[in-house]
Each structure stands twice: as C-alpha cells, then as structure tokens.
Chains A and B, each alone.
Chain A
Amino acid sequence: MFEGYSLAELGSIFAMQGFAGLILFSVFVLMALGLAIIFGQMGVINMAHGEFMILGAYVTYLCSNFISSTAPALFPAYFFIAMALAFLASGALGMLVEWAMIRFLYRRPLDTLLATWGLSLILQQIFRSVFGAREVGVVLPDWLMGSVAVTDTIEVPINGLFVMGLTIAITIVIYAVMFRSRWGQGVRAVMQNRVMAGAVGINTEKVDRYTFGLGCGIAGVAGSAFTMVGSTGPTSGQLYIVDTFLVVVFGGAQSLIGTIASAFTISQAQSTMEFFLSGSTAKVLTLLTVVVILMLRPQGLFVLKVRR
C-alpha cells in the first residue's frame, strides 16, 4: 500500500492521519464530556444524551434559517450564536428533565437508564413531529468549510480544527468550573458525600439541577458542532450513544481526566485501525478490545473509588 510514494509524501499522509485521529479524539471528548459529568458526578445514566445533542443541532438549524433570512450580514458569525443558544436550550431542557424526573431516581441508576431511554423515545418522536421525519440540512458559513494547508502537502479540515479548538475551550472551562470555582467545590462535595454536603449548607438540589443542566448543555454544544460533520435527523442521536457510553465507562466514570484519556485511546486505536483495515473490522475490533479491557479492569482507566 505504501509503494510508490516518497518519504515526504508518506510523512504528509501520516501527519494527516494523525490529525484525523486528533479530530476523532475531539469528537469523542465533546460527546463524552457532558455524559461524564452527569454519570461521573451524579451516577445518573442519561440514555437520552444523543437526543440532547440533536436538540442542539436542530437549534443550530433553526438559527441558520432565521439568521440567513432576517440578518444575512450576521451569517458568518451565526455559528457562535447558534452554539450559545444550543447550550442554553439543551441546558434548560436538562434542568427541566432533572426537576421532573431525575431527582426522584438518584439512588437507582438502572432505573434512570430505563426512564431516560423512554425520554429519548419521546424526544425522537417530538423531533419527528416538529421537524419532519427527513433529515434537515444545516447551511454552514463559508469560513468553516474546506481545509487549510498547513504545509504544501498537509491539509487539515477547518471544521476539524474548529472542533478541536472548541473541545479544548470547553475542557478548560469545565476544569475551571469544577476544580477552581466555589460552585465546582460544591458539586464535588455533593458527589462525595451528599448528606454531609447538605449539612454544611450546600443546596444539594440546586447543585444537582445545575450539574445536570450543564452536562446536557455541553451535549447541545456538541450536537451543534456536529452539524458540520454529520447528519441531523430525529434518530441521529442513536448513532452516538454506544460510543459515548463506552468512552465514559472505559475512562472510569468519576474522573474527567479518565474520560479524556479513554477518548484519546479509543479514538487513536479506531482511526489507526481504520486506516490499515476496513471500516467495519476496525469498529468491531475497537469495540471488542474496549469490552475485553473493561472485563479485565472494570473500573476503567482512572478511578477515584471502587464501584461495583
């Protein structure tokens, strides 16, 4: 497969493949961060995570239509507006769901799994009824399309760079919020010992609600970003669920660093295998490897406390 190419060309190809791996890594991190916060910090399995992402995507679609018809001059910048709105929309819905449903189920993770699955079905049908069963196309501003030539032979897709930048930004924000702010302290306190946290005056209910909302909001931003690289339809959320869960569980559910490490491992493994083998084989092998490793080390890569 590599005959007939000069060393420089091969170098370029491997560099581009490295970028592809990094882009996949960013995608996984974006998908998984929201879920990791919810699962890791709150022990809640949100099977409707994909649908929160797609809500963000639909918000982006509406934004795109609205701005291109009412304020075309703003169009190049609309994407940022759309992402902010996606964050707010998904976050708000998340808080509503937490208030209506999740807060009764904190001690029952298996039940939250089923309940959020039901929620995902309802959301899918709402999308279908409101936006139609067909996929919708989101028009992207020109500066996001195409690729940039890093060197003569290495080209990197711009939206890939955008996603990477976005991921880094969000990760930094989450880190700052979780580990450097007072509120993040509260979140971690609630996670470690809910009763004592309440006893020292932290409003555990509010903390839970905002954390869930934050997790869903990030999902919304991820969905918004994914309109650049994927489809937007009522059932598109299902495409991401299994991968997201595996990334979170593999990383060790309570550790955000674990999530990032696991996203990196899985994405590199998958993109490398895809390059050398065929797509399906790579997918099956990646899933199998992850599952086998999980069976050998069920706590995941990084663990703060042993969970059964």
Chain B
Amino acid sequence: MTRTPHSRLFGRLDGDIAGILLLAALLIVVLPLGLDIFRLNMVGKYLTYAFVALGLVLCWGSAGILSLGQGIFFGIGGYCMAMFLKLEASSPEATKIQSTPGIPDFMDWNQLKALPWFWEPFHSLTFATVAVVAVPALLAFIVGLAMFKRRVGGVYFAIITQAFAAILTILIVGQQGYTGGINGITDLRTLKGWDIRTDEAKLVLYFVNAALLIGCILLCLYVRRSKLGRILVALRDKEDRVRFSGYDVANFKIFVFCFAAALSAVGGAMFTLQVGFMSPSFVGIVPSIEMVIYCAVGGRLSLLGAVYGTLLVNWAKTMLSESFPELWLFAMGALFIGVVMVFPNGLAGLYQQFIAPRLGRLRPRTGGGAGAPIIPPHTAAD
C-alpha cells in the first residue's frame, strides 16, 4: 500500500499525540493549579534541563552519539540571553554610581572602560535571540565537522566533548572582565522593560517555557518520524551499511549534533530568564553528565520520557537534598548505575513493559514515536 509521506508521518500518531496531550495537560493545567509560584518556578527550571535531554534523545538515543558536553551549549545559550538582559539592566542611569556608567557592574570592577566589541550586538533582542540558537549550532557544526568527517565516534567523541567543557569553563572563569568570571552574570532584571523577577512574570515565563518545550517535542517527533529520523536510527545500529548505501553519514551526524546543541541552547536561555542569572557552573563536565542522566532515566529513546525523567530526577534531588543531603549523592550514583544496568530503557522502557500492554487492552494501540520501542540501543559498534 503506498502511503503518502503525510500519512506515513501522521498516520500512527494517536499514541504519540495522546502522550503529548497528557504531558501538556500536566504542565499547563495540573501543575500550575497544584503548586505555588515558588515550586512552579522550580519546575520551570527543571523543564529547561528537559530541552537538553530532548536533544540527547535525538543525538544519543537515535543516532548513538553521546555528548558529555551539552552543558557547553546550554551555557552559551544562557550566556547570550544573559548578556542581553545584563546590558538592559546596565543602562547609564541605573549604573551611575560606577566609574564607567552604562557597562555591566562586573566590567566596572575589572576596570574595563568600554564595552568589549563582542558585547555590542547584544543590545538588540533580535540579535540575542538569534545568537542563542546560532552560536551553539555553529560551534557544534565546527566540532561535528572535524570529528564526524574523520569518523571519530563513540567513546573518543565523548571524552573530547568533556575536554571542551573543561576548556570553556576555564576560559569563562579566567576572563572575568568579559564574562563575569566564576560569579557568572547575575542580577538580571527586565526584558524590554518587563520585570522578570515578579511572581506574575515567573508565571508567564513558566507557560512560555512549557509551550516552547511542547513545540520542541513536536519538532523532534517530526524529525524522528521523517526519513532523516530513520537514517539516524540506521546509522546508530549499523553505520557501515548506511555508508555503503550511499549516504554521507557524517552530514547526518553533524545535523543531529547541531540540532541537539540548538535545543540545549534554548533551554539555557529559558533558564536565564526564569532563574535570573547564568554562571559557568552549568557549563562544565559535572552538569553535562547530569543532563545525560536525565535523558537516560527517562529512556534514551523516548522524547516524553526525557521530560518525565528530568522532572523526576530534579524533583528527587530537591526533596532529598532538603531532608537527607548526604543520601542524595548515594541516590544519584545508584541512579546512574541502575539506569545502565537494570533499566536501560528508563521510565519509558518500564512503561512499555508493564503499563502499555494493559492499556493496549483498552484500545488499539500502536507504539513507536514518542514512546520507546524496546530495542536495546547498544550494539557492539557502540
């Protein structure tokens, strides 16, 4: 039976759409009603990590590229947004007590007399928004080009991304005049005149964030279900055959890596808006690896799972660190080990194994897409 591209794409969507609608209901209706603004803001913060996890589902789960440096892109996106917001908060009247009014406070303390050239364009919101996505994608493109064209993959790639994360952290911390150093860029106040620190603003930002997240999930779903998505799965499983079939494997890998980078950057920008600052502590190795665990807990093949995984792990972290701070590290370590050994498909895998069959008796159900197929994602080629 011939299927038009459209019907193949959207034909088996009832399961996925149901899942996305459920998530949307949770994020947009249930949580805002059930939580006070303080906790809701925290959920908003967790959702920004979910962007990174989404990117990892595509690039790790689907394409088999494990990047341990997603913090780099999260950070760059966050810093771009922070630079715009900081410039807005550093108008000449607001900074008149400084020796050089009109520049951010940390530059003044470092005796900079003028705004560095690469800060100038960030006066414009348009530029900042474009930069949030473009700069990380460009960086990912360069790294991807160098690595994937030479067929570096797997473990080597992971370690090199770690090295990049370390380098970027050292650079940011050392160049405190230009970047705010280890303190990061703090004390962000308004976005085009709209105060982002008030409770109403946080509520609005939360909804914007949730909407963006749902939008990104749909986008990822589209990519996954398109021909491109199938090629990604194919090259994760048997890269050589894809190559022999005539596809340039490197280009696909570069694309998905850039895509994941852009997603992470969007998360970073939303983080800056909701939390009110950005610092190099999100750029380094440790946060990058933590972001991988969010994806892994959810089930590295499942887009929805990535979001739930992120929410669950972060919620557990807050709860445990409030009551049993020492227990939390044991729990996180155990989580890493458990996710790898016991439930490699994460929450989505558990769902597929235990819940989906029962639901299947209620209505005809087709799997795939946003839910994870129970295909072990690892092969000898890993």
Contacts and interface: CB of A to CB of B under 8 A. Distances in A.
Contacts, number: 131
A246 B146 CA distance: 17
B66 interface: yes
A110 B289 CA distance: 12
A105 B159 CA distance: 18
Contacts of B68: 113
A117 B382 CA distance: 18
Interface residues of A, number: 42
B329 A246 contact: no
B164 A291 contact: yes
B163 A246 contact: yes
B310 to A, nearest CB: 16
User: Would you call the interface of chain B mostly helix, strand, loop, or mixed?
Assistant: helix
Contacts of B10: none
User: Would you call the interface of chain A mostly helix, strand, loop, or mixed?
Assistant: helix
Nearest to B150: A298
A121 interface: yes
Q: Which of A118, A125, A288 has most chain B Cβ within 10 Å?
A: A118
Nearest to A295: B146
A294 B164 CA distance: 12
Interface stretch (A69-77, A178-186, A279-287): A279-287
B320 to A, nearest CB: 12
30 contacts: A45-B155, A105-B340, A110-B158, A111-B340, A111-B344, A114-B336, A114-B339, A115-B337, A117-B289, A117-B336, A118-B333, A118-B336, A118-B337, A118-B338, A122-B329, A125-B330, A129-B326, A245-B162, A287-B163, A291-B160, A294-B160, A295-B146, A295-B160, A296-B150, A298-B150, A307-B154, A307-B156, A308-B152, A308-B153, A308-B381
Interface of A: 43, 45, 101, 104-105, 107-115, 117-122, 124-125, 128-129, 241-242, 245-246, 249, 280, 283-284, 287-288, 290-291, 294-296, 298, 307-308
Interface of B: 66, 68, 143, 146-147, 150-156, 158-160, 162-164, 166-167, 170-171, 174, 239, 285, 289, 292-293, 296, 326, 329-330, 332-341, 344, 378-382
Q: Which 5 A-B pairs have the closest CB atoms?
A: A118-B336, A122-B333, A121-B333, A298-B152, A125-B329
